[in-house]
A and B are shown apart, each in its own frame.
Chain A
Amino acid sequence: MKRIYSILFIGLNLVWLFMACNKALTFPEGDSTPLPVLEGATARLHWIGPKYKVAVQALMKDEKGIKTVQMKNGEWQLDTVFNVGDQSSFSIQDSFLVPKDLNPTQHTLEFRITNSEGGLIRKYVTVEDLSSENLIAGYNPDELPPDIKVVKPTVTKFLGFSAAPIKVDFEATISDLEINSIELKLWGEAADGQPVELSETINPTDEAAKKQYTLIKSLELPSGKPGLYQYIIRSTDASGNKKTVGGEVSVGYVDRLYLSDAQNAAEVTAQGYDQAGGCRGIGTIYSMKKQGNNTFLIDYYYPASGAENIRFIAFLGPNKPFSNTGGTQAGINYTLDGENVIGSSAAAPATLTVDLQQAGFKLPVTQKGYYHIAVDMTKRTISATPYTPTLPIDAVKYPGWSDASPWQYLAVTGPTVAGSAGGWTEATTSPKLTRDPDNKYLFSGSFQTTGGTSNMSLNAPLAALGGDVWGKGWFRLAAARAAMKDDYGDLITTVGAVGASSGGANWGFSTSPAGTYKASYDLALQRFRIVRTGN
């Protein structure tokens, strides 16, 4: 046992001896070695326009010799090491570029001084901020970029339906203490991949132009095809400050697209108009829903009779087919042959052409039926996907209706509808819209109105109503007129089944003026199409 203790004792002593010999002695025992000294250190932040510098003065001393001096500041990312080489004194008199402060800031420089024996001290010096004093008398640097006031382009959206190149006009006034260059650039890509890059650089030479320059220039984009482009006007001044303004230019990217199925110009001017609501939607033009950048969708019943006259009417910006807000039949802002009309190619009906002489004005199908129509205005194509509509089973809205036993007709009723016996109930003399032999959802016919403003309704057949004519099967406004908006947010009249009537302002729809009307109603699409054909 004693032996074990002896071995342990000797082992512990050896460990102690080993540790003691390996101890890193920074300073010898006894009187402490004098530490390095930092004397008279100053740091001052100066603005030397347009840059900032911190000027440092410092004297360091150490009897044993200074090995290194490290000067640090985190926010300025200053980190400089001086290898002093064991000199007993070392001074710094230098300046360092630093970034501009965003706010008044208190900075501190850290000095780490290491002496030749590994001794280390850290000292901190607060930076005196003198940057608000201009050190160069009269120096007034230009720190602001040129000012660019753009007058043109005022038009940046073009239909591009004509064969002429698109001329984009630019006008801008550039001003600065000294303009160095002005760059006008218009670039982008047509939808077919054709790159466009037009640019011009101007370097004003005379003194007046260097201070203010008026840029007037026109650049031309490719004709007849869609494209998305950008423009910039960029100016750089003599101090290197730069300003860029710009925007987008589009060709063939339309804001609104409508499908017109008017047979002729008369069906445009005499198309139905909801007098009381000041609304369109019961005529011969239908808004298409925009999807993505430049594609438009609509569901449509295509009779494929060969007599169709399908045209797409495009609008940019605030323009739209109708400008009136109610009260008159005026304010139709399009024609079937206008510059904003595009139609299917006669030779290739799945493509669109802006040359109306080459157009066939058909959908790219041969069978009658319902289609999801998609018009891609970028690729200038039309696609038509057939679908089968369904009518919801609803005994109130569609009493007695079934796919197997559809109604034979819809009765036109209303106090001013000729033959309706002055009321809202179907009479034997009431005019009727008769079911299309090939489409159970489509009813067509004609009627005459006698009042300046003719409120009217469509009724399900009296027999199907079981005598309860007030409670069922009414087709009038699907909702209050003010709440009905087309795909672009304009008021529109939608004629739909509403069932029981609650009277009031929601009372049927109206036409104006009095006369004879040709009409059709599509149950599936809730689309009422009327055209005044005469007195």
Chain B
Amino acid sequence: MKLMNMKPVWISCLLLLVIAANSSCKKFLDREVESNYKEDEVFVNYDRMQQAGIGVYAFLYNRFGFQRIDNAMLASACDEADHAVPASAIQKYNTGTWTAVSNPEDCWAFFYQGIRRANLFLENSVNYKQIVYRDTLDPANKSSYEANVKDIAWLRAEVRLLRALYYFELIKRYGGVPLVDRSTYTDEELKQFKRKTFDECASFIKAECDSVYPQLKDSWVGFSSEKWRGRITQGVALALKARVLLYAASPLNNPSNDVEKWIAAVKAAHEVIALGKYGLHNSYSGLFRLGNGADGNTEVIFAIQGWARNDFERMNYPVGYSQGGEGSTCPSQNLVDAYEMKATGMGIGEPGSGYDPANPYAGRDPRLGMSILTNNTTFKNRPVESWVGGLDGLGKLNATTTGYYLRKFVDEGLDLEKNTSSVHTWVLFRYAEILLDYAEAMNEAYGPEASSGYSMTAKAAVDRVRQRSGVGMPLLPPGLSKDEMRARIRNERRVELAFEEHRFFDVRRWKIAEQTENLPLMAMQITKTPEGTFKYLVRKAEDRIFQPRMYWYPIPEQEVLKSEGNLAQSPGW
């Protein structure tokens, strides 16, 4: 029946029916509480303005840390590990099938949203003193006014630093990116954005770190009933500067090996050391289980506050545990082989190291056992059975593909059957990394054992990390050449910072990914003999593919297309 042929009365009835149906969807007793403020309604008082600033911290979540890429850790996209689930998107990195339209860890839009949110806050809180003053006209609120003004001043500095951090996260993936300094642009203006160079972006980040440093608080511990723990501090500004300058000096971004860039990186890392505020925690295994008290620890410079959860344990407990391990991050033999011998401090392949291939986990760097669950290690009151046919070994659904399970970050004390949980905090900057940043830059700038006016040599900085209480690895041998020291520092980073999202980027900035990431990922096949002993045989778990273009992420294709040619795609994509 055509509408034109309907009689007016039917049309009226139909309309009434539609209106009635629409009205009935609104519950009569519903009360509307306005929660979606417009921009001009946000920056009118302390509370809303403060929440807008704190909101910039939200972009720390989902791009750092635990199983964030289709349930996988970033470690499974480099030679540190394999992800047990073959269909996970993380595998695209390993099969070389990621593209400008399908990048499992694309961060472009995400961090630019964070940067826009930061710009919005910074633009609208310029007159924060007047805004807070209007909000607290009562003279009796003077102390509250002073506290609120101070808080927004801190927050403005923090937001600038977060913006700098988000830029760093972009440039370490994409290379130089457009620097966006306003929250609002016309479409035409947006199309005109071009990439800055990596160095220009790094200079901007460094300048921001220097600029906000004096405006930041030195610590939030013990302040205001501890309610602001986890916010940015002065140490974060120095640590970020150290990291960005190290990246700027690294071979990928410093092809002419300009030594001045290394010297700048030395100075920046030494500023953190010279603060005298940070040190090494006395428990390597405990360092990653500090929860939200992490920022009170002497080693932790910045940690992303977490929440009580057990999904990480559900993923990473060995599969044979009745509490429900599902298998996730499987550390590689490539990584396991990097752990030296504790007694000699030598690599396992060196003559005289003391390594016994028939008993491969005995006498190794203690960090191996603290980071990786190897076969026959006691975990939750029983030995891990990674051998073929064992409770946790090959043949079981979602079992390890490499013969190893992840131990770092994992809370052994949870009872998954009772759904117990614990707070998981992701440490973003810690002092050991600073020492290794410093060592790397010192070695490149001045050599392995020169102090050149600084408080320690490259060797001394590495030795400090190696000699952490509870680790106690032997000092590096003296007289190493610069090349030898470089190799030792790189190995030390690999071991000390394993699974902490450094290796994936380190092999890129060192420009060695074509070697390391094209090697197959190796696994340990363990067989239990009738006598109860084990036989160990290394096998290939999978081939990996890395092409030169993969040193940089591709900018999402739609962004390149929208720019009408102004935004240059990363080379090779």
Q: A residues bordering B, Cβ < 8 Å?
A: 74-75, 77, 100-106, 108, 143-145, 185, 228, 230-232, 234, 241, 244-247, 292-293
Contacts and interface: CB of A to CB of B under 8 A. Distances in A.
Contacts of B479: 185, 230, 232, 234, 244, 246
B170 interface: no
6 contacts: A74-B540, A75-B540, A103-B360, A104-B536, A106-B537, A246-B479
B251 interface: no
Contacts of B539: 105-106
A170 to B, nearest CB: 14
A233 to B, nearest CB: 9
Contacts of B536: 103-104
Contacts of A246: 477-479
A145 B352 contact: yes
Contacts of A241: 351
In order of increasing CB-CB distance, the 3 nearest A-B pairs are A246-B478, A232-B479, A74-B520
B349 interface: yes
B203 interface: no
A101 B538 contact: yes
A106 B478 contact: no
A230 B478 contact: yes
Nearest to B460: A248
Contacts of A228: 451
A102 B519 contact: no
Given A77-B519, A102-B357, A232-B479, A143 B537 contact: no
Taking chain B's interface residues, is the majority helix, strand, or loop, or is none over half, making it mixed?
loop
A100 B538 contact: no
A230 B477 contact: no
Interface string B514-545: 00001110101100000000001111100110
Contacts of A105: 522, 537-539
Interface string B458-484: 000000000000000000011110000
A244 B477 CA distance: 7
A74 B536 CA distance: 20
Given A77-B519, A241-B351, A293-B455, A103 B478 contact: no
Given A74-B543, A75-B540, A244-B479, A145 B351 contact: yes
B241 to A, nearest CB: 21
Contacts of B525: 106
A447 to B, nearest CB: 42
Most buried by A among B478, B520, B522: B478
A243 to B, nearest CB: 8
Contacts, number: 70
B337 interface: yes
A109 B499 CA distance: 31
Interface residues of B, number: 29
Interface string B537-562: 11110011000000000000000000
A241 B351 CA distance: 9
B449 interface: yes
Taking chain A's interface residues, is the majority helix, strand, or loop, or is none over half, making it mixed?
loop
Contacts of A101: 538
A144 B352 contact: yes
Contact of A108 (B352, B355, B360, B540): B540
A232 B520 CA distance: 39
B416 to A, nearest CB: 33
A104 B538 contact: yes
Contacts of B455: 292-293
A245 to B, nearest CB: 7
Contact of A74 (B333, B478, B519): B519
B348 interface: yes
Contact of A230 (B351, B449, B522, B538): B449
Given A102-B337, A102-B348, A228-B451, A75 B522 contact: yes
Given A75-B519, A228-B451, A230-B478, A143 B351 contact: yes
Given A75-B540, A101-B538, A245 B477 contact: yes
A292 B451 CA distance: 12
A75 B538 CA distance: 11
Contacts of B333: 103
Nearest to A234: B479
A144 B519 CA distance: 29
A95 to B, nearest CB: 21
A409 to B, nearest CB: 40
Contact of A144 (B351, B355, B520): B351
A185 B478 CA distance: 11
A253 to B, nearest CB: 11
Nearest to A74: B520
Nearest to B475: A247
B478 A244 contact: yes
Interface in B330-353: 333, 337, 348-349, 351-352
Given A74-B520, A102-B349, A103-B537, 14 more contacts: A74-B519, A74-B544, A75-B520, A102-B348, A103-B360, A105-B522, A143-B351, A143-B352, A145-B352, A230-B478, A244-B480, A245-B477, A292-B455, A293-B451
A100 B349 contact: yes
A106 B538 CA distance: 6
Contacts of A102: 337, 348-349, 355, 357, 538
A419 B524 CA distance: 85
Most buried by B among A102, A104, A245: A102
Contacts of A100: 349
B314 to A, nearest CB: 31
A104 B357 contact: yes
Most buried by A among B360, B524, B525, B540: B540
A145 B352 CA distance: 8
B351 A103 contact: no
A221 B147 CA distance: 59
Contacts of B538: 101-106
B451 to A, nearest CB: 6
A236 to B, nearest CB: 12
Contacts of B355: 102
A51 to B, nearest CB: 14
B218 to A, nearest CB: 19
Contacts of B544: 74
Contacts of B357: 102-104
Nearest to B484: A244
Contacts of A143: 351-352
A232 B481 CA distance: 12
Nearest to B355: A102
A106 B355 CA distance: 19
Contacts of A108: 540
Nearest to A244: B479
Most buried by A among B349, B355, B455, B479: B479
Contacts of A103: 333, 337, 357, 360, 524, 536-538
Contacts of A231: 478
Contacts of A293: 451, 455
Contacts of A292: 455
B519 A232 contact: no
Contacts of B520: 74-75
Most buried by B among A100, A105, A228, A244: A105
A228 B456 CA distance: 11
B359 to A, nearest CB: 11
A74 B540 CA distance: 9
A77 B516 CA distance: 11
Interface in B349-406: 349, 351-352, 355, 357, 360
A145 B348 CA distance: 15
A128 to B, nearest CB: 14
A145 B349 CA distance: 14
Given A103-B538, A104-B538, A74 B518 contact: yes
B273 to A, nearest CB: 11
Contacts of B352: 143-145
Contacts of B518: 74
Contacts of A232: 478-479
Most buried by B among A74, A234, A245: A74
